[in-house]
Amino acid sequence: MPMPSSVQAGSGSLAIDGNFSVALTGHSEARLDRASERFYRQLSRQTGLIFARRSAEASKATLVIHTDHANKTVQELGEDESYSLEVTSTGAKLNAATPLGTMRGLQTFLQLVDVSANGFAAPALLVTDQPRFPWRGLLIDSSRHFIPLEVIKRNLDGMEAVKLNVFHWHISDNQGFRAESKKLPKLHTLGSGGLYYSQGEIRELIEYARDRGIRVVPEFDMPGHSSSWMVGYPEIASTPGPFKIDEEWGVMDPAMDPTNEKTYKLLDTFIGEIAQLFPDHYFHIGGDEVNGKAWDANPRIQEFKKAHGYKSNEELQTYFSQRVQKLVTKHGKASIGWDEIFVPGAPKDVVIHSWRGPKSLAAAAKQGYQAILSNGYYIDLMWSAARHYAVEPLSGDAAALTPEQQRLVLGGEATMWSEYVDGENIDSRIWPRTAAIAERLWSPQSVTDVKSMYERLEVISQRLEWLALTHRSYYRLMLQRIAGPAAPEEFAALKTLTDVLEPVKDYTRWETMSAHPIASTPLNRIVDAVPPESDLGRRFDEAVNTFIEGRCRDASVAARLRTQLTKWRDNDAALQSLAMNSSFVKEVAPISQDLSAAANAGLAALDAIAKSTPLADDAKAQLAATLAAASKAKAQLLLMPAPSIRKLIDAAASGGACAEKL
Where does this chain bind its own copies (CB under 8 A)?
Answer: 18, 46-50, 52, 114-119, 424, 458-459, 462, 465-466, 473, 477-478, 480-485, 488, 519-524, 528, 539, 580-584, 586
Q: Kindly tell me which of 46 and 174 has the beta carbon lying closer to its own copies.
A: 46
Nearest to residue 457, comparing CAs of 545, 531, 541, 394?
A: 531
Residue burial 73-103, b: 16+ Cβ < 10 Å; e: rest: eebebebbbbbbbbbbeeebbbbbbbbbbbb
Cβ-count burial of 380 within 10 angstroms (0-12 exposed, 13-18 middle, 19+ buried)? Answer: buried
Q: Kindly tell me which of 59 and 520 has the beta carbon lying closer to its own copies.
A: 520
Q: Kindly tell me which of 75 and 582 has the beta carbon lying closer to its own copies.
A: 582
How far apart (Å, rounded) are the C-alpha atoms in residues 24 and 303? 66
Q: Provide, rounded to whole angstroms, the least separation between the CB of residue 1 and its own copies.
A: 12
Nearest to residue 378, comparing CAs of 366, 367, 387, 365?
A: 387
How far apart (Å, rounded) are the C-alpha atoms in residues 38 and 57? 19
Q: Kindly tell me which of 18 and 279 has the beta carbon lying closer to its own copies.
A: 18
Q: Provide, rounded to whole angstroms, the least separation between the CB of residue 41 and its own copies.
A: 12
72 in Cβ contact with 43 (< 8 Å):
no
Q: Provide, rounded to whole angstroms, the least separation between the CB of residue 18 and its own copies.
A: 6
Write the DSSP symbol of residue 132.
Answer: S
Q: Kindly tell me which of 589 and 639 has the beta carbon lying closer to its own copies.
A: 589
Amino acid 544 reads V
For the chain, the residue count is: 662
DSSP-assigned letters across all residues of 450-509: HHHHHHHHHHHHHHHGGGT--TTHHHHHHHHHHH-S--HHHHHHHHHHHTTEEEPPTTHH
* DSSP β-bridge partners for residue 216: 167
Q: Provide, rounded to whole angstroms, the least separation between the CB of residue 587 and its own copies.
A: 11
Nearest to residue 409, comparing CAs of 355, 371, 360?
A: 371
Q: Kindly tell me which of 41 and 632 has the beta carbon lying closer to its own copies.
A: 41
- Helices 589-610 and 555-569: crossing angle in degrees, nearest 10, is 150
* DSSP β-bridge partners for residue 129: 83
Q: Kindly tell me which of 73 and 520 has the beta carbon lying closer to its own copies.
A: 520
Calculate the dihedral angle through the C-alpha atoms of 633, 639, 641, 647, rounding to the nearest 10 degrees.
-10
Q: Provide, rounded to whole angstroms, the least separation between the CB of residue 458 and its own copies.
A: 8
How far apart (Å, rounded) are the C-alpha atoms in residues 475 and 155? 17
* 289 included as an active-site residue: yes
Q: Provide, rounded to whole angstroms, the least separation between the CB of residue 169 and its own copies.
A: 23
Distance between first and last Cα of the chain:
43
Q: Provide, rounded to whole angstroms, the least separation between the CB of residue 656 and its own copies.
A: 31
Find the catalytic residue in 201, 204, 289, 465.
Answer: 289
Catalytic positions, written as ranges: 289
